[in-house]
Amino acid sequence: MKNVYKVLSSAALAGMLLGGIAWGSIDTAAEAKGAASTDTSKSNASNKVSSTQSGITINAANAMYDGNYLRVELKSTGKKLDKKLIEKIEFFEILVDGKSIYEYGGGSIAKRPTLGLSPGPDADIVYLTSSDASWLGGNQEAYPDKFKLTIKITLEGVKDPYTMEMPIQKSAEQPVVMKQEQTKKSGNLSMSLKQVRATSASTRLQWVLSGKDKEMMHDLMYDFVDDQGRELEVLDGKGTDENNANGDYYFDYIIKALDPDAKSITIKPFTPEMEDPNATSGAFKLDSNGEIIKNYNKDLEMTISVK
């Protein structure tokens, strides 16, 4: 299989783990297995849903979908957990209008939506996030503007799974679409910015890598900063060369919304140093502050005006 990989923020890269799905040296990803549903209740009036098993209730609320990505808050109540909620979740899955995201694109990782968990402000809260594969080249299926979301979760030590259903409606906010195509080159590699779409919750960016330097295509990772030098949080990021016949890599990154005074976004490609300099996978080399040592490629750096 050609390479499909998920690139995380610097903090998450150190652990190489997101939402129970490990993305290691880029060629493999753990597959989740299906689970049955039981004991579901919901409150349509407040768009909050919940499911209870063995005295532990999982509440799903505060859903947000801006057309770039989906986020739902999950909170445990009732019987106290013996560890953080994110550590208790053994399996999770979502269905869009009854269709599992693992069925998108015939089950191909390159053609299906992402799914992850991130820790919340306290031990009993996690955020479930997902984005479709429609910006990964070809004609990949996008999430509809309105759909029924089904969330399935299995907790460690709880026999029966949790299942919750809630309606999702894309926010009425009109996104800002930025027409700023540009291309940068480094040796035999070119990087072309294709799409940028911003909302008050997130900014989504698409670019394509093409050329003969397949090794660099594989190894590059990305940081994002605004014109004030503030690092921009990555909410989701993925890339693949499977959805086109030319072997080009399509990248789709979603970053947190910019501060109101920000005037630009800079994409900063880099290659991380490996702990073993001869290795192509494994642990990254860290500096004295525990940060990944990065070698930035200034030739490919892109600045996008947002004002």
pLDDT number for residue 180: 79
Concatenated DSSP letters of 57-115: EEEEEEEEE-SS-EEEEEEEEESPPSS-HHHHEEEEEEEETTEEGGGGGGG-GGGS-EE
Max intra-chain CA distance, the chain:
60
Contacts of 17 (CB under 8 A, 6+ apart): none
- How far apart are alpha carbons 51 and 43 in whole angstroms? 11
Q: Is residue 40 situated within a structural domain? A: no
Give per-residue pLDDT as tens, 3-34: 443 343 322 322 222 333 323 222 222 223 23
pLDDT number for residue 198: 95
pLDDT number for residue 211: 94
If one counts the domains in the chain, the total is 2
Q: Residue 282: which pLDDT band, with cuts at 50, 70 and 90? A: confident
240: enclosing H helix or E strand: strand 234-240
> Do 153 and 17 share a domain, yes or no?
yes
CATH code, 188: 2.60.40.1640
| Cα–chain center distance at 282 | 21
Instruction: Give the mean pLDDT of 106-112.
Output: 91
> Do 94 and 242 share a domain, yes or no?
no
> Do 164 and 182 share a domain, yes or no?
no
Last residue of a domain, one of 116, 139, 169: 169
> Do 250 and 110 share a domain, yes or no?
no
> Distance from first CA to last CA of the chain, Å, rounded?
41
Does the pLDDT value for residue 62 go beyond 50?
A: yes
Q: Is residue 115 situated within a structural domain? A: yes
Least confident of 172-181, 231-240, 262-271: 172-181
Does the pLDDT value for residue 292 go beyond 80?
A: yes
Give per-residue pLDDT as tens, 134-186: 999 999 999 999 999 999 999 999 999 999 999 999 999 999 998 878 999 99
Q: How long is the chain?
A: 307
pLDDT number for residue 158: 96
Proportion of the chain above pLDDT 90, given as a percent: 72
CATH code, 165: 2.60.40.10
| Cα–chain center distance at 44 | 28
CB-CB contact of 130 with 69 (8 Å) = yes
169, 245, 247 from 242: Cα distances, Å: 30, 8, 7
Q: Is residue 41 situated within a structural domain? A: no
Task: Give φ, ψ of 200 to 5 degrees.
Answer: -75, -10
> What is the pTM assigned to this prediction?
0.83
